[in-house]
Amino acid sequence: MRIFIFPLIVLSILLTACQNEPDPTGIGLIPEGDLVDARRFDSVRDSGTVRSSTAFVEVTGETSPALSVGEAEGYRARSLIRWFTIADTIGQGGRIVSATMRLHTAPYHIGDASTPLTIEVREVKSFWSSFTLTSDSLDALDIATEPSGSVTAALGDDDSIDIAIDTALVRSWLVKLDSGLFYENYGVLIEAPGGGGIRAFQSAEGSQPPELTIVIETASGLDTIRGGTIEDTYVATGPDVTGESGITVHGALATRGKLFFDISGIPPASIINHVSLSVTIDRSRTTDHYSGRDSVLVYQNFDSTTAETLGTAVLTRVDGDNPDRLLAEGTMLLRAVQTWVNGKGNHGLVLSHVGEASDIDRMTFFGAEADSTRRPRLVVTYTSKP
Amino acid sequence: MKRTLIVFLFSFSVVSAQNGGTIESRYGIGELDLMSTARQRALGTVTSAVPTASDLSLTNPASWTSVSELRLQGGFSLEHIAVSRSDASITNSAIKGFQFVMPIEESWRLRLGTALLPVSRSSYKTLTEGSVEGEQYTGTYQGSGGVSLFRAGLAIEPLPHVKVGAAYQYFFGTIEQDWELQFENGLYFPSRQTRATRHSGSGLVLGLLYDGIRDFALGVSIQPAAELSASRNLLLQYSTEDSILSGTSGTQDMPMLLHVGASWQMTEKLLLAAEYSMQDWTDATVFDRKQNVLGSSYKVGVGAEWYPYKDELGYRTLGRTAFRLGFYMNQPYLSVSDEATSEYFITTGIGFPIFASNRGDIALEYGWRGAESDLLGSQSIIRATFSISVGESWFVRKRD
């Protein structure tokens, strides 16, 4: 019996050796040098150096849900489309009665939407890829001088347009497909010259992609075949905004903003608890022809000579107190500033348009040269070290 | 014996529950252990001049010569501190270490002793609240760890009634200080910083015990000053999941520790004892800097042990049961705001046989320290200490 008393005592100690909740008793005994607290660095209040600029970047439109076509307000947009498969291998067989390309509108336009738009379709005779096509490479393509089809119409937001395509062109597609030379089917260029405005149509990524309908007369009567796999893209050009004041993020062209904050006011290797970035929209130089979202994506920049968007982005939100101010906060920003404070290279931040691949829109923010109420602001909360 | 050893090893798990001291243990190397078994605590923490065959002194190796068989002793304590400045109280437990003494040779009473003992403990947790431009946060300061020692030595009786002992001591241990900031706003990443100071170093303990004067025993032990190597690292944990470690190296002074005690076997059943100990931390440096809050520590204790039924017929167990009473005053080495706070304890306890030559001891202490005007207010302490001593006749030649 006695030999079990000791283990029982030990067990009771295991149960009773408990951690009490801490309270402030004795905090006054902590030496002053060992007290830690949370502090704030504010790029505006602490007069930290801020630099801002706008940089041009080549972007491609292969993921754009909209194909923009037309000319307006200094912008020009052209689209390309081709069908890799057409639901038949008729080749030279039958007689092509008609070939029609139908495009469904997207609710975006630049200029007066009620103005009729003349859309032309031309054969593309040299290779292109939606993943690499830019305005320079588009200008270098071999494109037929005469259109293979055209139509003039005024289009609403939920509309479609049918463009009759030269049956000889369509026949050449069918022959190449039958011969296995689908990669030599370079499709057509769609444009609307004349400054009548820019319209957006749904692309292969949209809910109503472009349609190709071919009516063929064979020995057994009329047959309808349709286009299958689509590759499409668009290219837009416009005014050069990189030399303007402030920061301009522009979709489609495109341009991105670059921001740099000097955070040397934060003691090296401090633990960063929170970061918030705020930028103020210059409404006078901002457009909302397309989706018009009041947001930008913020990335950490890993090379100050470029404006690459690498890693995870933070999406800004509108400041509830000021609809012209966008706020960004999140893990990416926290980690970006932490790497700067830890001496791993401060290359600043990159801002990009949310619809960079699809929206011919610009959003301009006040830059580092603006007054303190509107210039970009970085607020960092960090913990002092003992 | 086997079961007892298993229980001893099992009770190491209690080490993980060692926490819950006061903020004062943040200074120096923490709260210093008084190095007393349960019996010695019940005697007013008299340790150096009360040798018995079953109770091993944790301060005077010369007392090992009193051991007649292989003996293993260990213990633990439970403590409850009530602080007047706070509604909260602190409860903690601590292993009080293990000692092992083995007879080597009888004519000289040569004994080999080893021990693993706590030297100090830093254990506290306190918090403060703050805000930065409207964002509220809680700052928690926490300390843990301590310094321990491993001891190995010999004791011998070179002359009748003159016992000497000496042991090598290796000090080791890490003391950690944690800072944590937790924000009310869940979007804020909490911060955590840890400063760990690792100690290591060697020292000695020397002891002398003289019981040549009838019914009297005098004991003296000294631990010469030692200098421990210390390395300190600051670890910061970041949201980027890496951490930065910065470190320095230095030394930690361990000042000389002196115990002087005496005991008087007043009657066959009654023993009286007293002791004075001191350790001056005034000039002790840590990483080449003096800690101004450290001063001189000393302790004075008195105690009595009574066997009311000793050698009386019919009291086999009670005849070996002892009752104890004591008192001690301890001046810790920490002085806050230039004022040293003394603590006073009334002690009592009981010692009883378990079986064969094994014994158990329990000590209860009630103490008080501080005043209402102090930063921590006044504190009252209740402490219970348990020791068990197990003896085995290994390696002892039995005479026919």
Report the CATH number at residue B326.
2.40.160.60
Q: Note the pLDDT tens digit of each residue in B255-302.
A: 999 999 999 999 999 999 999 999 999 999 988 888 888 889 999 999
User: What's the distance, Cα to Cα, between the start and end of chain A in Å?
Assistant: 54
- Give A-chain residues touching B190 at CB under 8 angstroms: 273
Residue A274: is its pLDDT beyond 50? Answer: yes
B397 belongs to a structural domain: no
B354: three-class secondary structure by DSSP: coil
Rounded to the nearest integer, the mean pLDDT of chain B is 88
DSSP letters for B147-196: -EEEEEEEEEEEETTEEEEEEEEEEEEEEEEEEEEEESSTTSPPEEEEEE
Which residue from B13, B14, B128 is facing A24, i.e. has the nearest CB? B128
CB contact under 8 A, A38 and B181: yes
Residue A28: is its pLDDT beyond 80? Answer: no
Residue B242, pLDDT score: 73
Angular region, B311: left φ>0, alpha ψ -120 to 50, beta rest: left
Yes or no: say if B211 and B273 are a contact pair by the CB < 8 Å rule: no
B303 belongs to a structural domain: yes
Which residue from B183, B355, B376 is facing A273, i.e. has the nearest CB? B183
Percent of chain A scoring above 90 in pLDDT: 75
Q: Supply φ then ψ for residue A291, to 5 degrees.
A: -70, -25
Higher model confidence: residue B371 or residue B17? B371
B398 belongs to a structural domain: no
Q: Which of B395, B391, B388, B374 is nearest to B84 (CA)?
A: B374
Q: Which amino acid is at B222?
A: I
Token pair of A384 as six digits: 């002092």
Type and span of the H or E element at B289: strand B289-290
Mean local confidence (pLDDT), B378-391:
92
Question: Cα–Cα distance between B381 and B360 in angstroms, integer?
Answer: 23
- Give B-chain residues touching A277 at CB under 8 angstroms: none
Domain extent, residue B98, equals: 2-392
ipTM value for the complex: 0.81
Type and span of the H or E element at B38: helix B38-42
C-alpha A206, offset from chain centre = 16
Mean local confidence (pLDDT), B34-61:
94
B319 belongs to a structural domain: yes
B45 belongs to a structural domain: yes
Residue B385, pLDDT score: 96
Q: Supply φ then ψ for residue B48, to 5 degrees.
A: -95, -15
Angular region, A139: left φ>0, alpha ψ -120 to 50, beta rest: alpha
Dihedral of CA B276/B280/B281/B285: which sign? negative
Residue B11, pLDDT score: 45
Residue B241, pLDDT score: 75
Token pair of B343 as six digits: 């603590």
**3-state per-residue secondary structure call for B41-80:** HHCCCCCCCCCCCCCCCCCCHHHHHHCCCEEEEEEEEEEE
List the single best residue of A15, A18, A27, A29 to mutate versus B (max B Cβ within 10 A): A29
For residue B168, give how far its alpha carbon lies from the nearest alpha carbon of chain A (Å): 30
CB contact under 8 A, B193 and A385: yes
Out of A59-73, A259-273, B301-315, which region has the weakest mean confidence (pLDDT)? B301-315
Question: Cα–Cα distance between B168 and A107 in angstroms, integer?
Answer: 88
Q: What is the pTM of this model?
A: 0.83
B400 belongs to a structural domain: no
Work out the pLDDT band at A159, boundaries 50, 70, 90.
Answer: confident
Q: Which amino acid is at B58?
A: L
Residue B378, pLDDT score: 82
For residue B375, give how far its alpha carbon lies from the nearest alpha carbon of chain A (Å): 7
Token pair of A123 as six digits: 């054969």
B257 belongs to a structural domain: yes
Which residue from B7, B88, B139 is facing A36, i.e. has the nearest CB? B139
Burial of A239 (0-12, 13-18, 19+ CB in 10 A): exposed
**In chain B, how long is the greatest CA-to-CA distance?**
86
Comparing alpha-carbon positions, the chain A residue that sits nearest to B82 is A25
CA atoms within 13 Å, Cβ hemisphere of B138: 12
Domain total of chain B: 1
Comparing alpha-carbon positions, the chain B residue that sits nearest to A28 is B375
Residue B350: is its pLDDT beyond 80? Answer: yes
Question: Cα–Cα distance between B98 and B114 in angstroms, integer?
Answer: 8
Burial B120-148 (b: 16+ CB within 10 A, else e): bbbbbbbbbeeebeebebbbbbbbbbbbb
Yes or no: say if A124 and A139 are a contact pair by the CB < 8 Å rule: no
